[in-house]
Structure 1
Amino acid sequence: MRTHHRITAVAVGIVAVAIGPLAASITQAAVPATPSGWSLAWSDDFDGAAGTGIDTNTWIYDIGHSYPGGADNWGTGEIGYHTDSTQNVYQDGNGNLAIRPLRDADGNWTSGRIETVRTDFEPAQGGVMRVEGRVKLPDVSGPAAQGIWPAFWMLGEPFRGNYWNWPGIGEIDILENVNGTNQVFGTLHCGTSPGGPCNETSGLGGSTTCQVSSCQSAFHTYSVEWDRSTATEELRWYLDGNLFHTVNENQVDATTWTDATDHGFFIILNVAVGGGWPGNPTPATASGVPMLVDYVAVYQSTGSGDPTTPPPSTGPDAYSTIQAENYDAQSGIQTETTSDTGGGENIGCAANGDWVRFDGVDFGSSAAHTFSARVASGAAAGISGLVEVRLDDVNAEPIGSFAVANTGGWQSWQTVPANIAPTTGTHTVYLRFTSGQPNDFVNVNWFTFAH
């Protein structure tokens, strides 16, 4: 069954950040050498003795079912009670932090949630910050993982002590996973809820899968880079050093972006049990399987130019077949193997507000007048939407679009044409997906333009 995973947290998300190569072992690794061009601003490598708790000069235990005076069940509907017990949160003696959800004889769940004492993590003006972590998700899948929701994330400093100003103060989820799937999510939450400029409670999110070994069977590195070195601020998400999601400040209005980012953040690690996104655990859910965190590090850099501005002549020819999975950035999109002619991959799970970006698309001096795309849909009756072409800004007016509804299945492919406004020159091309419903409504394999 196809599902478009959308975050339903009100005050919880995940930010797992890391840099460096995938590591398949579960043994300890100290914070790696600081990458060239960066300086280490803060870190913890959890090298305490086996069975010891966290350093309370660095971390705060969150206790109970909510912040005092805050939303019940952490605002997410989760059912676990967070403790400061070393049964739930401990250092394992191998250089890792363990956060372990446990079920007692009466069926009640406990787990752990910790956050940094510091609330000032943000890039310097004109600089870049990278938040990074090496994490192994709880090694369970299928029915044994039902309701398990590990996360590594950040909340804006103004949330501390208020607890009711989410999502306006910003939440950066660098790693989220539910129910033991080999899929991780990165999201910015902002604006107002429900709906608003950031599509809450879903947020502006993207996802990817762990390669070589699953997210549960091995450590992987997760990172987010927050770039203030260019005219347009940008957040970039990476898994094992591979970019999988980008959010630019011009995707929302200036007030929304400022409210969400014009302050420091604090870092959170937790394993939630149950809640609005994963659903609650069942008797088959495994107890006692921890999330392991090798290290968390924060780096600062002065930046080196604008990564959102592509070289004008290095992108694809507009009149070639542009494979949709070869995007330069995306929001809300997943890739999957396609059964369409030629094989390869398609992009999928496209729903209202999602997009993909292609840099430096060269239309030449003779204007393009049409656009066509290879699409498929298994959407339910009554679910449809538009595939729009926008140039240079994801919020620009579309130069053309076509509607798509159920084509007979998510791998039942059709080529659909549309007229576009005459276009020449080199542009950043966005395919943006617009619908009156929140459901997934289209997959795209490739697209092209014609004179």
Structure 2
Amino acid sequence: MKRAAWCLAALAAAWLSVPAWGADAPSVVWADFRTPPAGRERPPVTLLQISEKPGDVAADALGVYDGGVRVSGRLGRAHGSTWTTLGVDVGAGRGGAAVDLSAFRNLRIRLVSPTEQVLRIRIKGTDTKLQNTGCYPVLLQRVRGTMDLDIPLAVFEPEPYCAGNGASIAQTLPAVASVEVTANEPSQEPVRFELGRIEFLNAAGDVAAVAAPLPPAVIPREARDGAWRLAWADEFDAAATVRVDEKRWRVHKAPGGASPQLDGHGRLLLPPASSLRVRPTGAMIYGRIELRVKLPAGAARVSLQGAPLTSLDWLEAGEIALIEKDGADLHLGLYAPGIGDEPAFHAPVELTPSSDGFHRFSLEWDPVKIRWALDDVVVKAVLRAEVPTGAREVFEQWPFLLNLEAGPGSEPMLVDHVRIYQKDELAALSRQRLATWKTAYESVNDSANAAVPVSRRVARPTPPRKVAEPATPAARTRVVTCERNKFGLMMCF
């Protein structure tokens, strides 16, 4: 879609400052909207008032105050525009030269709006064609009041109309030219919002795993995006003492131990030293998985484990841990050959106390990224491009099966439900591979019982997590919750 820019007003941004850039720094400030010290370059700010047809956007002069810039004006469609834009584009310093941000993982940004509205954030590179078509990665952020946000860069994507012609975030980060923040929805009332400090955090400064959770008003978040379709589920709704459906699950337990069963209240009881592995009907090659779980006091693990047709150890087969618990230590991450204990692939997590002890764990996995959420707050994202080649191949060679494991102790793990969602385009990528694999895998495992005994898997040592402390108090910002809206765009709250 060709964009016609009917008015672009460039401003001399005397109130911005950008410190020295360095990929090894915990963070870099893109703009703080304050008077720069002597000798410091001043990045350009451009007021954007763009519409498909002339006359549908009217912008006021930018308002400048200490630490921010105020945008106001009107957005309409009286002249027939199907899209409109009002906002600002904040360029890089250093004479406008693009900046390599490939080492950075989060965008920290302050947004202010007197009324609830959706703002679009776009990270732009240097390709003029992509700039004109609007096919650099974006997300939509719902804003009301003053919000200091940490947004994983992995959630930025080109808009759906770009199809295969857009730039992914991995392609954009090595040469970032500007950050754009705009309002795009027409309104009878004046449109107003403010933009404050913009900062990028690298792996060392990534606080996504420990930032304060969103308030209860935005949860629970079911898979409301119509593109996600329920593909497999177990709600555990049978009567008490009924054992789990072994057509859906493969059961493992310690010799003499109790068997997993249902409690009659819609929950699974997984006794200590036992585990369940989903049957091939629930196998995943990409998709979204959601669980509501009450973890025991001791050891436990909820993970997707690789299911090759040949016998491989757990590391060679690969594993995506939604949550691993060893006493008070909780973390998540990836396991595969070539992946060590780097914080890029692992994250510690904290569970905020809940009234019934249950927590929602979810994971979205597509060809571009893997993203974890805890109680509907995004806590970690890993781009495919960031994963070493050898490890990347592990996650693309065979399907993965959900494992629920309770370690030795006195308390069971309780599971309220397990739901696996799929999208048509992702299902098409994996349908043929799954069909061939399912028959062969069931045959191999029924005859050889190839799964590793639970006593060995639960007791598996976990690498230490060397995750740096956040540079600022976690309460200063919060991590957004993101989901795809009906138009296929990432919407964050």
**Could you state the TM-score of these two structures normalised by the residue count of structure 2?**
0.40
Judging by fraction of residues, say which structure has more helix. 2
Which structure: larger Rg?
2
After TM superposition, the score normalised by the length of structure 1 is: 0.44
Greater relative contact order, per chain length (Cα 8 Å cut-off, separation 6+): 1
